[in-house]
Structure formats: C-alpha cells, structure tokens
C-alpha cells in the first residue's frame, strides 16, 4: 500500500497519515518526491483497505503496489535516488569510479593504491579489511588494522572509503571507519546482516548474489530499506553460468532492468564480473554504455604480489586508461540523452 499525498499537503497532514498507519500496527515510510510525498506502509501481513486513508487530510490517493517489493519500487518513488557517499553523488549525472585493491594488505599497499587510483580519476576507494574466503585457511583480511589504514588513506587522499562488512558482530566497527558499507554477493541473502545494514547511518553498496534473480536482488535491497535506510546502491558483479571463458558472466541487462523497476542507482563490477584482467576494460566500457551509474574496479599497485584476486586486478596505468575511456563514453551518452 502506498499513500500518495497531495502536492500541497502539509507536514501535519503527513504526520496524520503516519499516525494512522502506526495506530493500525504497521510502519510508515515517508518517501519524498519531486512533486509530492508518498508514504509506504510495511509490516502489514495482508492487504489493507485503501478506504482507511483516502479521507484523511492531504491524501491524494491510496494505491496497492503490485510488486512484492515496495520501497525499492519505482512505482512508489518515480524519481531516481541519488546516494551520497562521502560527498560523491552515486546515481546522478556523473559516472562514479570506485577503485582499489581486493584486500587491504598493508599500510604501504593501501596508501599506494589510494594515491594511484585517485591520480587516475577514482572518486572513492575500495579495499577489504574483512574478506569472506572460500577456504578457512586463506587470508581473511587485516580486520581493524585494515580499517585504520583505510582511514589513513582517506585522510591523505580525500577519497571516501567503501569496504565490506561480513557480519553483525563486526558491523559497528566497520561503520566507525567506512563511508559506505559493502555487502558482498555471498551475503546478499544474509537477512540478519541486511536488517543490520538497514539500521546503519551509512549508505550500503549491495552486490547481487551469484545466482540471484532480479526479484531476489530487489527484495534484498527491500530488507535494508524496510529498516529505514534508503541509501542503497546496487551492484551487478556477474552471475554463475556454464560459461568458462570468464570466472562469472557479467549480466549487464540487469542494469536497465533495475532502472525500469527501481529508483535505486546501480553500478557494475567488471573485475569480479569477468575475473580476468584483460576483460575488465571492455566490460567496463560495456557497463557504462548499458547505463551503469558507476564502476567498482580492482586496482593494485603490484597485482602479481596481491594476496587475493591479483589476476583480475588492473595495474594503475590500465585503470587510468579505463577511467578516461569510460568517462568519455559516459559524457557522450549524457549529451545525446540530453
């Protein structure tokens, strides 16, 4: 159910509708729009009668939402959401580049990476301090030490920090250092983690699970929004198929598909999406052409010595070339859409 307010509705009108929703035992979500405010309702086990709302002051209409997701739906909020990460708008006119190593390996490595990606044109720094690894015996990250190095890299370069959070226990610690918390593909349906992210003050970058349908992806985002955090960036990072020429199959059609169903911004990760260094540049270009609002790219000062995923990490010079080409395509398409 979505209660759409009249254009001239007052704060008091909005408060009245929210009060009514709460009195019914449900939860109101205020969704400001360019034209008018809408109020989503969650927590209702079944359908609600629109008549409960249509006579309240300032209400234009009460409409049933036809999708299983509500708050992420473009039906509910027609305007694009722009998520600010450390002052960088994601989902706006400009292409956003998030770059850095797979893992934070040392103070020197992350500082060198941050300088290199900033110099090459990145606006945000990525790097994992908590790494979900298939093997319990593989390098699991530097944990808080890694977060401190990321903060140092931010202090020096001014780049906002995007870093992965892997469980509820360490969430608060990550929140203390990050500008945006990333939820990885393996945790896309870790619902306890999603709920915790929904109670964070930070924006959340949510990666699509390796065999997630579009609906499951949007429902995972809905978990976060349903707890009150509307700052969610979606990220396509490849799905698992029979194809063996890349590590994953980057499913770029999900970019326009998300954009037609949801107001949330979507970016692409051509590094995990291909798993091969020489495929990152062409697939980054393809992502931008398909309409992605940004890219997340693995860059390492010395990929051959990386502790994880070095074979898919770009050299800084390769990233510089990628950034320039991608911005050129982005700008061309902006002008043409213009």
Contacting a copy of itself within 208-237 (CB under 8 A): 210-211, 213-216, 219, 222-223, 226
Q: Which residues contact 55 (CB under 8 A, 6 or more apart)?
A: none
- Choose the binding region for a copy of itself from 12-20, 53-61, 150-158, 164-172 (rule: CB under 8 A): 164-172
The tokens of 46 are what?
């079944």
Residue among 194, 106, 115, 124 nearest 161 (CA):
124
- Choose the binding region for a copy of itself from 17-25, 109-117, 285-293, 294-302 (rule: CB under 8 A): 285-293
Q: Does 137 bind a copy of itself (CB under 8 A)?
A: yes
Rg (CA), the chain: 21
DSSP state of 186: G
Q: Which is nearer to a copy of itself, 35 or 334 (CB)?
A: 334
- Choose the binding region for a copy of itself from 84-92, 114-122, 143-151, 167-175 (rule: CB under 8 A): 167-175
- Choose the binding region for a copy of itself from 47-55, 97-105, 119-127, 252-260 (rule: CB under 8 A): 252-260
**Nearest approach, Cβ of 267 to a copy of itself (angstroms)?**
14
Distance CA 328, CA 322 (A): 10
Alpha helical stretches, state H, the chain: 11-23, 51-54, 107-120, 144-157, 171-177, 191-198, 214-226, 254-261, 270-274, 277-290, 316-337
Q: Which is nearer to a copy of itself, 93 or 332 (CB)?
A: 332
Where does residue 249 rank: exposed (0-12), middle (13-18), buried (19+ CB within 10 A)?
Answer: middle
**Nearest approach, Cβ of 105 to a copy of itself (angstroms)?**
13
Question: Between residue 78 and residue 117, which ones bind a copy of itself under the rule CB under 8 A?
Answer: none
Question: Between residue 25 and residue 84, which ones bind a copy of itself under the rule CB under 8 A?
Answer: 42-45, 68-70
Q: Which is nearer to a copy of itself, 35 or 211 (CB)?
A: 211
């Amino acid at each position: 159910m979505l209660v759409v307010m009249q254009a001239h509705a007052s704060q008091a009108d909005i408060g009245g509708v929210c009060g009514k929703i709460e009195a019914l035992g449900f939860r109101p979500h205020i969704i400001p729009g360019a034209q008018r405010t809408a109020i989503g309702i969650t927590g209702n086990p079944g359908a609600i009668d629109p008549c409960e709302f249509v006579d309240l002051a300032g209400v234009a209409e009460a409409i049933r939402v036809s999708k299983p997701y509500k708050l992420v739906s473009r039906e509910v909020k027609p305007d694009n959401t722009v998520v600010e990460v450390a002052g960088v708008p994601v989902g706006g006119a400009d292409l956003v580049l998030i770059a850095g190593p797979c893992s934070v390996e040392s103070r020197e490595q992350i500082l060198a990476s941050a300088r290199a990606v900033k110099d090459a044109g990145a606006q945000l720094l990525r790097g994992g301090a908590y790494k979900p690894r298939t093997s319990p015996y593989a390098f699991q990250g530097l944990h808080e030490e890694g977060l401190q190095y990321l903060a140092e890299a931010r202090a020096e370069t001014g780049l906002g920090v995007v870093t992965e959070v892997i469980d509820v226990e360490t969430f608060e610690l990550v929140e203390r250092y990050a500008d945006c918390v990333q939820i990885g593909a393996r945790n896309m349906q870790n619902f306890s983690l999603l709920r915790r992210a929904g109670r964070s003050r930070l924006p959340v970058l949510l990666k699509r699970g390796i065999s997630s349908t579009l609906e499951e992806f949007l429902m995972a985002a809905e978990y976060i929004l349903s707890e009150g955090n509307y700052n969610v960036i979606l990220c396509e990072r490849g799905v698992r198929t029979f194809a063996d020429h890349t590590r994953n199959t980057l499913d770029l059609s999900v970019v326009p598909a998300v954009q037609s169903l949801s107001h949330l911004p979507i970016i692409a990760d051509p590094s995990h999406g291909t798993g091969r260094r020489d495929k990152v540049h062409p697939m980054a270009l393809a992502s931008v052409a398909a309409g992605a609002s940004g890219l997340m790219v693995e860059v390492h000062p010395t990929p051959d010595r990386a502790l994880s995923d070095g074979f898919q990490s770009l050299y800084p010079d390769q990233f510089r070339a990628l950034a320039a080409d991608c911005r050129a395509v982005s700008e061309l398409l902006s002008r043409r859409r213009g």
